[in-house]
C-alpha cells in the first residue's frame, strides 16, 4: 500500500524534528504535494528516500516548507508605532539595555530593522537582539547580510545611507549593525524559550500554525516576557482573546503582558 501523508509527517519529524501536524494541514499538504510533483517523484515514499539520501533535496524541502518571505520594515506604519510609542514606553518601563527577541527572523531583515531603529536613540553597544529561525540555511543568509534592492525598499534613507554598502543592485549591511544581533537556530514548536525579555517580535509565521500550536506559543511568549513586556505580531495575526494568554492589546498588533499564565 502506498504511504500516506500521516506516515510522511511522522518520518519528516524523525528526520528533521519539524512537526508538520502543528502547521495548518490543507495549506501545508498542498505545498508539499506540489513540490513532490515538481520534483517528479511519485508519492511520499520515494520522495522521503530522496530527502534522506540527498542533502540538497533535503535543504530545498526545508527552505520551501518554511516560507521565508520577508523585507526590511515590513508594514512600515507598524514600525512607526514601534519607534514612536512602544520603544519610548519600554525604555521608560525597563532599562536602556532592553532585551529583544526576533522569533522566526528569516533572512534577518526584521532584527536588522530593529537594530537600525534603535541606533537612532541608542549607542550600538547598548543594543542586544536575539534573532532565531528554524531554518539553518536562512540563518546563514541572515548572517551574511547581503540583500537585493527589493528587500531594502522600506529602509528609511538616513539608515540606508548609514548602514548599507551598495554594490550594483545588492546591499550589504554594516558590521556595526551585525554585531548587535545574535543569530541562533530555534524551533518554536519544540525548543525551550528564552526568558526575561522586554520585547518579542514574532511576525508572519503564526498564520501557518494550527490553533492548538498557536495556543501553546502564546503561553510560551507570555512566560518569556517580563511583566509589562510587549509582544509585536504580524498584520494578519491579531490575537482573538489576548486576556486568555495574560495579554492586553495596547495598539493594533502590540500586546502588553499584564498577568502570568
Residues near ligand SAM, by CB under 6 A: 66-70, 74, 104-106, 110, 133-135, 138, 186-189, 203-205, 234
Q: How many residues does the chain have?
A: 261
* Smallest distance, ligand SAM to C-beta of residue 115, A: 15
- Cβ-based nearer residue to ligand SAM, 186 or 257: 186
- Cβ-based nearer residue to ligand SAM, 106 or 222: 106
- Cβ-based nearer residue to ligand SAM, 127 or 138: 138
* Smallest distance, ligand SAM to C-beta of residue 209, A: 8
* Smallest distance, ligand SAM to C-beta of residue 33, A: 19
Q: How far apart are CA 28 and CA 33, in angstroms?
A: 9
Radius of gyration of the chain (CA): 19
* Smallest distance, ligand SAM to C-beta of residue 140, A: 12
- Cβ-based nearer residue to ligand SAM, 104 or 159: 104
Q: How far apart are CA 169 and CA 186, in angstroms?
A: 31
How is residue 194 annotated by DSSP? P
* Smallest distance, ligand SAM to C-beta of residue 92, A: 26
Q: How far apart are CA 51 and CA 60, in angstroms?
A: 9
- Cβ-based nearer residue to ligand SAM, 3 or 219: 219
- Cβ-based nearer residue to ligand SAM, 45 or 237: 237
- Cβ-based nearer residue to ligand SAM, 74 or 214: 74
What are the residue ranges of helices labelled H in 121-210? 136-144, 157-163, 175-178
Q: Residue 248 — φ and ψ, nearest 5°?
A: -130, 135
Is the Cβ–Cβ distance between 102 and 131 less than 8 Å? yes
Q: Going by C-beta distance under 8 Å and a sequence separation of 6 or more, which residues neighbour residue 254?
A: 81, 82, 86, 230, 231, 232, 233
Mapping DSSP to helix (H, G, I), strand (E, B) and coil, where does residue 40 land?
coil
CB atoms within 10 A of CB 149: 11
* Smallest distance, ligand SAM to C-beta of residue 234, A: 6
Q: Please give the grid coordinates belonging to residue 1.
A: 500500500
* Smallest distance, ligand SAM to C-beta of residue 174, A: 21
Amino acid at each position: 500500500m502506498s504511504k500516506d501523508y500521516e506516515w510522511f509527517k511522522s518520518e519528516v519529524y524523525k528526520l528533521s524534528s519539524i512537526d508538520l501536524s502543528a502547521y495548518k494541514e490543507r495549506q501545508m499538504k498542498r505545498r508539499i504535494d506540489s513540490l513532490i510533483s515538481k520534483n517528479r517523484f511519485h508519492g511520499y515514499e520515494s520522495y522521503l528516500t530522496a530527502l534522506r539520501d540527498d542533502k540538497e533535496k533535503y535543504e530545498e524541502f526545508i527552505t520551501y516548507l518554511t516560507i521565508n518571505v520577508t523585507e526590511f520594515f515590513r508594514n512600515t506604519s507598524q514600525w512607526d508605532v514601534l519607534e514612536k510609542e512602544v520603544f519610548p514606553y519600554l525604555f521608560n518601563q525597563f532599562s536602556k539595555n532592553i532585551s529583544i527577541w526576533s522569533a522566526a527572523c528569516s533572512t534577518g531583515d526584521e532584527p536588522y530593522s530593529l537594530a537600525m531603529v534603535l541606533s537612532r536613540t541608542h549607542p550600538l553597544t547598548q543594543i542586544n537582539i536575539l534573532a532565531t529561525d528554524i531554518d539553518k540555511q536562512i540563518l546563514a543568509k541572515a548572517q551574511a547580510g547581503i540583500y537585493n534592492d527589493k528587500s531594502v525598499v522600506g529602509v528609511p534613507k538616513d539608515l540606508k545611507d548609514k548602514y548599507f554598502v551598495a554594490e550594483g543592485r545588492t546591499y550589504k549591511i554594516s558590521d556595526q549593525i551585525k554585531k548587535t544581533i545574535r543569530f541562533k537556530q530555534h524551533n518554536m514548536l519544540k525548543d525551550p524559550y528564552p526568558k526575561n525579555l522586554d520585547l518579542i517580535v514574532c511576525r508572519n509565521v503564526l498564520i501557518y500554525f494550527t490553533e492548538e500550536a498557536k495556543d501553546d506559543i502564546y503561553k510560551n511568549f507570555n512566560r518569556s516576557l517580563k511583566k509589562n513586556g510587549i509582544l509585536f505580531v504580524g498584520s494578519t495575526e491579531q490575537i482573538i482573546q489576548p486576556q486568555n494568554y495574560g495579554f492586553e492589546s495596547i495598539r493594533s498588533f502590540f500586546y502588553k503582558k499584564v498577568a502570568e499564565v
